[in-house]
């Protein structure tokens, strides 16, 4: 009798092993894009469950009643600003308080995503509440395919799939299915980097123009492309840099630079105020734009006056060493330069706060570098589990609105 009982767990274990093996065999027979979309869709389902779980304990917020539905819950925070753009567009005059200071307004948010949803509404008739998050999720799925293709330029099919999974489970990846511009920007950035890696510089131009109308990443992209041109010219004896490629890459540099300025220029022409965009962007900070200084101030607030001033320098040194590590070098010079330019951009222009975590998403190629660290499934699985747990933390800590003692809450 005891022997029969002992066999049951082993039998169940074998059945599970057999089922998993059959499922794996079936999975590997699917086309690559079906594999990519299936894995990434599963990560979105996980994020959906996290949002539903956190929404169930959400109290009354500035956006509505307690325990909102999924679509109501993902429509808070900056989603509300994008909806205002979708409905009303942008103000002709920059709103100001009694002292003349710029107030928070729509000009801080780029137009491509809300205008895309408006166009889809014209065709489908669906309302923002449902159409915007579904559009963002669709853009995330497109991004997953493009990220896979980019990773395949540098890695095997298996490693590229792991890289896509890490991007999909990244702690802030839940934002890829809310009405933010992150998923659209991620798709355009992945497409631009893919074309650059393939040296299809002219084809990248229209993609970069659109990307610069989705989120403010044109400055680091233009800087990365400029340094890439210098690098390719400097190494032309070892790696031929034909005149036609030189001209095309130079054209991409010029267009990227002008595209980086497109949104501030549009805001200026529309409102008649030269600093309309920068004044609006810094309205959330409560102070003007000063390069690098916010990181020093944040460091001093955490570590004290001396250590705090040193901390950003040590952070920059650590980032530089990491970008020169063997695993990152395997990604290629184009990805190295983009990652370095974007990190420098964050260090120069960003006011460090809780939103900083979300702004790390454009560094998604480093997910493949994390895969390169070890071929061990135990290691890679552990990273995925850690990311999933941290995603729960991110949504519960930052997406759920809980009023602070002084008012407001930390933004996601």
pLDDT in tens, 44-84: 999 999 999 999 999 999 999 999 999 999 999 999 999 99
Specify the length of the chain in residues: 412
Residue 19's pLDDT band (cuts 50, 70, 90): confident
Task: Quote the tokens at residue 334.
Answer: 């184009």
Q: What angle in degrees, to the nearest 10, is found between the helix axes of 112-124 and 78-88?
A: 60
Q: What is the mean pLDDT of residues 267-285?
A: 95
- The torsion region of residue 408 among left (phi > 0), alpha (psi -120 to 50) and beta comes to left
Q: Is 403 helix (H, G, I), strand (E, B) or coil?
A: coil
Looking at the chain, the whole-number percentage of residues with pLDDT higher than 90 is 88
Residue 1's pLDDT band (cuts 50, 70, 90): very low
- What is the reported pTM? 0.95
pLDDT on residue 82: 98
Sequence-distant (6+) residues with CB within 8 A of 136 are: 113, 176, 177, 178, 179, 180, 182, 183, 184
Residue 99's pLDDT band (cuts 50, 70, 90): confident
Q: What is the mean pLDDT of residues 267-294?
A: 91
- Alpha helices by DSSP H, listed for 56-104, are 70-73, 78-88
Number of H helices, E strands in the chain: 19, 0
Flag whether 4 is in a domain.
no
Q: What is the mean pLDDT of residues 335-347?
A: 97
Flag whether 15 is in a domain.
no
DSSP 101: P
7 pLDDT higher than 60: no
Looking at the DSSP bridge assignments, the partners of residue 96 are: 102
Measure CA 330 to chain center.
Answer: 22
Exposure class string for 323-359: b at 16+ Cβ within 10 A, else e = beeeebeebbbbbbbbbbbbbbbbbbbebbeebebbb
Flag whether 78 is in a domain.
yes
Range of the domain at 264: 33-354+366-399
pLDDT on residue 8: 58
Flag whether 17 is in a domain.
no
Flag whether 225 is in a domain.
yes
Structural domains counted in the chain: 1
Looking at the DSSP bridge assignments, the partners of residue 61 are: 64
Q: What is the mean pLDDT of residues 100-122?
A: 97
> Any idea of the CA torsion for 342, 347, 348, 350, to the nearest 10 degrees?
90
Phi, psi dihedrals of residue 61, rounded to the nearest 5°:
-130, 170
Pairwise CA distance, residues 203 & 199, whole Å = 9
Flag whether 360 is in a domain.
no
Q: Is 123 helix (H, G, I), strand (E, B) or coil?
A: helix
CA distances (Å), origin 81, targets 89, 180, 216, 243, 365? 10, 9, 16, 46, 29
The kind and range of the H/E element at 185 are: helix 182-197
């Amino acid at each position: 009798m005891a022997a029969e009982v002992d066999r049951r767990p082993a039998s169940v274990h074998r059945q599970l092993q057999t089922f998993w093996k059959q499922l794996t065999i079936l999975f590997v027979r699917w086309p690559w894009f079906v594999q990519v979309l299936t894995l990434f869709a599963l990560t979105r389902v996980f994020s959906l469950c996290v949002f539903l779980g956190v929404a169930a304990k959400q109290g009354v917020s500035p956006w509505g009643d307690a325990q909102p539905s999924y679509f109501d819950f993902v429509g808070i925070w900056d989603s509300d600003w994008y909806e205002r753009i979708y409905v009303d567009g942008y103000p002709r005059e920059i709103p100001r308080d009694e002292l003349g200071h710029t107030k928070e307004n729509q000009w801080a948010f780029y137009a491509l995503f809300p205008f895309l949803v408006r166009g889809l509404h014209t065709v489908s008739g669906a309302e923002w509440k449902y159409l915007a998050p579904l559009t963002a999720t669709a853009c995330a799925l497109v991004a997953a395919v493009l990220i896979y293709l980019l990773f395949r330029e540098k890695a095997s099919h298996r490693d590229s799939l792991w890289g896509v999974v890490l991007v999909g489970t990244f702690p802030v990846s839940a934002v890829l299915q809310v009405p933010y511009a992150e998923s659209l920007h991620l798709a355009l950035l992945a497409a631009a980097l893919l074309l650059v890696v393939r040296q299809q510089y002219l084809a990248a131009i229209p993609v970069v123009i659109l990307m610069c109308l989705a989120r403010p990443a044109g400055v680091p992209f233009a800087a990365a492309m400029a340094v890439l041109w210098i690098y390719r010219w400097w190494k032309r004896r070892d790696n031929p840099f034909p005149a036609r490629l030189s001209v095309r890459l130079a054209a991409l540099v010029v267009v990227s630079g002008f595209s980086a300025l497109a949104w501030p220029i549009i805001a200026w022409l529309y409102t008649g105020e030269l600093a309309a965009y920068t004044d609006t962007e810094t309205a959330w900070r409560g102070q003007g734009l000063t390069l690098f200084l916010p990181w020093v101030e944040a460091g001093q607030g955490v570590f004290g006056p001396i250590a705090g001033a040193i901390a950003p320098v040590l952070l920059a040194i650590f980032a530089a060493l990491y970008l020169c590590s063997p695993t990152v070098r395997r990604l290629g010079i184009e990805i190295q330069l983009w990652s370095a330019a974007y990190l420098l951009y964050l260090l120069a222009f960003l006011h460090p706060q809780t939103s900083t975590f979300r702004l790390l998403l454009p560094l998604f190629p480093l997910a493949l570098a994390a895969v390169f660290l070890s071929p061990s499934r135990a290691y890679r699985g552990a990273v995925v589990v850690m990311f999933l747990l941290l995603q729960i933390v991110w949504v519960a800590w930052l997406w759920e609105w809980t009023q602070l003692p002084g008012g407001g809450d930390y933004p996601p």
